[in-house]
A and B are shown apart, each in its own frame.
Chain A
Amino acid sequence: MTACHECDLLLRELTLPITAGAVSCPRCGAVLYRVSHDALERTLALTCAALVLLLVGNLFPIVGLNIQGHHVETTVLGAARQLWRDDMPLVALVLLATTVLMPLIELCALAWLLLPLRSGRRPPGFVIIFRALQLAHPWAMVEVFILGVLVSLVKLSHLADVLPGPAIWCFGALMLVLTVLSSLLDHRALWQAWEAAQE
């Protein structure tokens, strides 16, 4: 037996189709869980790729400007530092949390959970780490950030020569990887793997 998390409809799991794909609630249409082959393996691979992209994306500048021969460029951390200096510490924290911190927590938590599960062992602190993953997920906004970078590029192109930095490609790729990742990741599969694994 299970229940829909959005409308509380009581369901018998046997009556739900077991073919690959998303299983939805017959009453409200919420996705209950996804059935896919090798989901955990693929999730782990994508997690590692996303971690590398996130790290590289934060080391290199996102955009550069040429104003009368003067070259300026900024990284995400640089933008946060500038906001902090301009007496906007809260906005700086929001920027840092949504583009760096929350994606980092999400990805590290996933790697922490998936690596031991792959070899059939239970990761230490499974419940707490899973909770962190659950809480961080809605606050990771890489895709919105990318759009913000594009809008500021257009706004600045009237003032000066704008040069997209290497990090913008990293963030673009990260956006795609994270989208695939969240469509693959199934919480039920994680808990099932945990139940099957040894103490």
Chain B
Amino acid sequence: MSAMSAREQGFALCEVCGRLGKVAESERCLRCGARLHYRRPSSLERSWALLIAAYALYLPANLLPVMETQSLFGVQSDTIMSGVAFLWHSGSWVLALIVFSASIVVPLLKLLSLTVLLISVQRRRPGPRLPRARLYRLLELIGRWSMLDVYVVAILVALVQAQSLATMAPGPGVLAFAAVVVLSMLATMAFDPRLIWDRVQNEEIRRESN
């Protein structure tokens, strides 16, 4: 027995209320009135656009300073990486590792994995689907943790102000970094995971008819 997708039977799951509706009967969900789609509209195009924008901002996010510290000893600029190095040298290895994974590994891994997913769906690459589906689920779960550094800068900047010996001000890198996180989250949301499985059914059907 081959697995049937809802689309092949003319059914679409409502994205708002989760009711299964027959598209031939009504273009709108009979329960909540939302428009029914077999797949998210122009999912690949929107996902690619947001992903490319995130890639474009990835370099400035990591190269530009996220914070500028002004003290009696002069001005010091900190990038994401130098913030990690500071934590490492001051002996907070656990935190250094957490910040390193959240700010450097996760964003890069997320951009690369989404690229792999998009290409594998577009090129209709054969192969096991379950690891890809799991990868997508992981992306949805971990993307938010990259916002960590934005919060750190926000708190430091608010606390260390003119009345003390040093002043901390946010650098342009933090804007680029926040944008990378938001854009890559939007790109993941635009991607429709059902596309990963679509080809499987066509393959099975072809095999059965042969």
Which residues between 153 and 172 of chain A lie within 8 Å of chain B, taking CB atoms? Answer: 154-156, 158-160
Cα–Cα distance between A151 and B165 once the two chains are bound (Å):
21
Cα–Cα distance between A8 and B98 once the two chains are bound (Å):
36
Instruction: Kindly list chain B residues whose C-beta atoms are within 8 Å of the C-beta of A1.
Output: 11, 20
- The stretch that binds B, out of A24-32, A35-43, A46-54, is A24-32
Which residues between 108 and 165 of chain A lie within 8 Å of chain B, taking CB atoms? Answer: 127, 130-131, 134, 138, 141, 144-145, 147-152, 154-156, 158-160
Is A105 engaged at the interface, CB distance under 8 Å to the other chain? no
Cα–Cα distance between A148 and B178 once the two chains are bound (Å):
14
A156 touches B144 (CB 8 A): no
Instruction: Kindly list chain A residues whose C-beta atoms are within 8 Å of the C-beta of B147.
Output: 94, 98, 141, 144-145, 148
Cβ contacts B106-141/A at 8 Å (1 or 0 each): 000000000000000000000001100110110010
Q: Which residues of B are in contact with A by a Cβ distance under 8 Å? A: 3-9, 11, 13, 16-20, 31-34, 83, 86-87, 90, 92, 95, 98-99, 102, 129-130, 133-134, 136-137, 140, 144-145, 147-161, 163-166, 169-170, 174-175, 178-179, 182, 185, 189, 193-194, 196-198
Q: Which residues of A are in contact with B by a Cβ distance under 8 Å? A: 1-3, 5-10, 27-30, 62-63, 65, 67-68, 70, 72-74, 78-83, 86, 88, 90-92, 94-95, 98-99, 127, 130-131, 134, 138, 141, 144-145, 147-152, 154-156, 158-160, 187-188, 191, 195
B151 touches A95 (CB 8 A): yes
Chain B residue nearest in CB terms to A95:
B154
New contact pairs (17) apart from A74-B155, A91-B175, A151-B98, CB-CB < 8 Å: A6-B194, A7-B193, A7-B194, A9-B3, A9-B6, A10-B8, A28-B130, A67-B165, A68-B165, A72-B161, A91-B174, A130-B32, A144-B144, A151-B95, A151-B148, A154-B95, A155-B87
